[in-house]
Amino acid sequence: MEKLRVLVIEIAYSRNHTKLSPLQRSLIPVLSFASSLYRLALSLRHYLYHLGIFRKHRLPVPVISVGNLTWGGNGKTPMVEFIARWLVDSGISPLILTRGYAGGDEARMLGRHLLGGPAKIGVGANRAAVAAAYFEKYGYVDPRSSTSYQRLRLNKVESHLNSEKVGAVILDDGMQHWSLHHDLEVVMVNGLVLWGCCHLLPLGPLREPLTALKRADVAVIHHADMIGASFVDRLNFSDHHIFQARDVDLIRRRLEELEDKFGSKPVVVVTEKDYDRDAEILKGLYPFKVLVLCSALQFLSQKGCTEKGFKKLLEESLRVKLRGPN
């Protein structure tokens, strides 16, 4: 199954299908048919929301959605953390709503990074219900009357942070979560692969057609540079992969091969989310050293774009949305 997944990903991100293997080309008609069914289901869902048969729920506080148009990691979690810290610095206590894939690895990572601050993290598929439970427990701040919104300033902490009341919601992976109204739409774009072959799932990597970018208030390109550590080998697993004993055996065999080849013990690097899913199973790689790669958002200044400028953009966009009609 893992080999099939790798083949499909290679098809999705290939710009020239003639260069694919015969096996991959044989899969294209099946994937194309499935992609057509997906497009039909997507259009039907959108139409039902347009008619009001499916209704959007509006929360009593502003909702900032952080999402993307393609599958896989696109830097959403570091952006969620960045926005949470920005809101806290602005005097607004945020509630992060996440679906909780793979046992909530992203939620655990965010919880560790934001530990000790006023940010709260709610996990669950029904994010409206999760938000309602937090509002009932902690209360919320009306953005129309809150001085933190009326006098929002960068790096200016307002007094009501002493309260546990929720002042804003950050919707993790929220672009396709249409059942909640979004006040601000932040879309992450992978600068290394962009849109792949520009087809919808599963033939391509797109969750929605590219026209969905019109909904975005802010678009952020991550992996904007390609500077990074060199590596001698790499094993790819799917996003939110749950490591099994056979995976550890596979990694260990590869490490032993590399040790024989280079005459020294290689070092294993895993992502922080991989570590959070099951730290104990990685102990099975001993005596090989395992390092956990922690990521954070870093802005590359280019053509006047800076971290301060991005915060200003968020601030102004949120103000405009709050002044708009209900």
SS (H, E, C) 141-187: CCCCCCHHHHCCCCCCCCHHHHCCCECEEEEECCCCCCCECCCEEEE
Instruction: Specify the CATH number for 63-222+304-323; select among 3.40.50, 3.30.420, 1.10.3470, 1.10.490.
Output: 3.40.50
Q: Which residues pair with 200 in a beta bridge?
A: 206
| Long-range contact pairs involving 229-237 (C-beta distance under 8 Å, separation at least 24) | 229/269, 231/269, 232/258, 232/262, 232/266, 233/258, 233/266, 236/6, 237/2, 237/274
**Number of other residues whose CB lies within 10 A of the CB of residue 151:** 11
Q: Which residues pair with 79 in a beta bridge?
A: none
Distance CA 7, CA 2 (A): 9
Q: Which of 56, 55, 104, 59 is nearest to 77 (CA)?
A: 104
Give the pair of three-digit tokens for residue 314: 């968020």
User: What is the chain's pLDDT, residue by residue, as a tens digit (326 residues)?
Assistant: 778 888 898 999 998 888 899 999 999 999 999 999 999 999 999 999 999 999 999 999 999 999 999 987 788 999 999 999 999 988 899 999 999 876 678 899 999 999 989 999 999 999 999 999 999 999 998 776 655 565 554 444 444 455 689 999 999 999 999 999 999 999 999 988 889 999 999 999 999 999 999 999 999 988 877 676 666 788 888 777 888 999 999 999 999 999 999 889 999 999 898 888 888 888 999 999 999 988 888 888 777 778 999 998 898 888 877 776 54
Distance CA 265, CA 164 (A): 49
Place of tokens 């696109």: 74
User: How big is the chain, counted in residues?
Assistant: 326
**Number of other residues whose CB lies within 10 A of the CB of residue 178:** 15
H helices of the chain, in order, are 2-12, 22-51, 76-89, 105-113, 127-138, 147-150, 245-262, 272-277, 307-323
Centroid of chain to Cα 34? 25
Per-residue model confidence (pLDDT) at position 193: 86
**Number of other residues whose CB lies within 10 A of the CB of residue 300:** 11
Q: Which residues pair with 121 in a beta bridge?
A: 96
Distance CA 88, CA 168 (A): 10
Per-residue model confidence (pLDDT) at position 294: 87
Domain regions of the chain by residue span = 63-222+304-323, 226-299
Per-residue model confidence (pLDDT) at position 103: 65
Per-residue model confidence (pLDDT) at position 153: 46
Q: Is 87 helix (H, G, I), strand (E, B) or coil?
A: helix
End-to-end CA distance of the chain: 48
Distance CA 105, CA 274 (A): 8
Per-residue model confidence (pLDDT) at position 226: 61
Place of tokens 């690895």: 105
